[in-house]
Structure 1
Amino acid sequence: MFQEILAYILSTSGWVLVSSTLPTDYWKVSSLDGTVITTATYWSNLWKTCVTDSTGVSNCKDFASMLALDGYIQACRGLMISAICLGFFGSTFALIGMKCTKIGGTDKNKARIAFFAGVNFLLSGICSLSSCSLYAHRITSEFFDPMFVAQKYELGAALFIGWSGSILCILGGTMLCFSIAGSKSRSQANYIYKGTASHISSYPRGQAKPVTQRPPPDYSNSSRMQHFDKNVYV
């Protein structure tokens, strides 16, 4: 039960961190490498791109068309939304399937629900990890490309928050799955032990198990009597 509670705390904390990265502004920030005087800072996320001048005034522009976006931004959007939805279902099912709650039915049904919640958390962490890694790969590939002459960017704070939340979701989901497997093995061991104890306790200590004696064979049955001729042993 304590392992399930710890797994639920880790998974829910990771899901909250993953959810907070979606509206976060700083997914990528303009690089200051090789710049002596900085007059403006460019930054953007999955929904808009902005610029902040030296006086601190920011001007933002939302992405006008979803179809005109780059493919990696569309993929990151879909993965992050999927991660948030999976984490929500995982947290809901985990509350029902945990042993410390009184809902969910029998222990067998609760074990199945908790295992399903752990799988949801695992998928949520994988989706978020893939999204952040894909976005970071695009930033780093443009930064280290000598033929890329446009504005170069660096990794923003949202990516590190997303990676942290993804790791927590994966750890919590794995702990939930293994806690169910451990509880099943313990229940089977207890069942075998109780069955053996009940079998032994049926006979008092110091008394041998009574030996059942078979009745003597009945040779009076006429069907078993055989008549032999005089040349039977020849």
Structure 2
Amino acid sequence: MGNMATEIVAFLLSISGWILVSSTLPTDYWKVSSVDGTVITTATFWSNLWKTCVTDSTGVSNCKDFPSMLALDAYIQVCRGLMIAAVCLGFFGAILALVGMKCTKIGGSETTKARLTVLSGFHFILSGNTHIFHFDWIYGEFELGAALFIGWAGSVLCTLGGLTFCLSMSEGFSIRQVA
């Protein structure tokens, strides 16, 4: 029974992390910069994976979508690919976890369910770790935006959930002794 509770906690951690990582994909503030005047902030520059914008002191925003994918810098293309891979890996990890958990009635024998759960754990670990390295393209006068911190928190939750899935399956791979 303790193993089933561990799987449920791992599933909740992993799904929470996957939701956080997925929510950073459309979030606007990946990197932020402000130009200050003498009394007020005159302009705020911010950017995400899809566009760059400037907001003036009156609140008017002007955004420009990035050009075609072939005209983008390599680091933005890599970040986009890693984020989409993280979302897809988390989705397939969730499906494998639902099939492989002991509290579900589908998935086959206990050994098969254990293998599916470990595979799900690896999916969540990979999903979490693909988001960790996105701060490399933020440089110069820009500051880290809220999307990066949300994604890092989600990646930690995904990794913890995936590790818990992998470690909870020790009895699913028992070695039989041959006399």
Q: Give the number of the structure whose alpha-carbon radius of gyration is greater.
A: 1
Q: For residue 104 of structure 1, what is the aligned residue in structure 2?
A: 107
- Within the candidate set 158, 164, 169, 1:169 is matched to 158
Corresponding residue number in structure 2 for 1:207: none
Superposed displacement of residue 182, structure 1: 4.2
Structure 1 residue ranges, 4+ long, deviating more than 4 angstroms after superposition: none
Contact 2:34 2:43 in 1 (8 A): no
Identity %: 65
Higher relative contact order (CA 8 A, sep 6+): 2
* TM-score normalized by the length of structure 2: 0.90
Alignment of 1:186-197 (within 5 A): none
Residues paired across the two proteins, number? 173
Match of residue 29 from structure 1: 32
Question: How well do the aligned residues superpose, as a CA RMSD in angstroms?
Answer: 1.7
Q: Tell whether 2:7 aligns with 1:8.
A: no
* Structure 1 residue 183 displacement after superposition: 4.5
User: 1:39 is paired with a residue of what secondary structure?
Assistant: strand
Where structure 1 has 5 or more consecutive residues not aligned to the other structure, the ranges are: 144-151, 193-234
**8 Å contact from structure 2 (residues 111, 173) kept in 1:** no
Paired residue type of 2:10: A
Counterpart of 1:54 in structure 2 is 57
Residue among 76, 82, 85 paired with 1:82: 85
1:31 CA displacement: 3.9
Deviations 1:47-82 (A, max 9, x none): 001111111111111112211111111110010000
- Within 2, Cα distance between the matches of 1:171 and 1:35? 44
SS of aligned partner of 1:49: strand
TM-score normalised per structure 1: 0.70
Kept after mapping to 2: 8 A contact 1:31/1:154: no
Within 5 Å, give how 1:101-180 maps onto structure 2: 101-130=104-133, 132=134, 136-139=135-138, 142-143=139-140, 152-180=141-169
Q: Which has the higher strand share?
A: 2
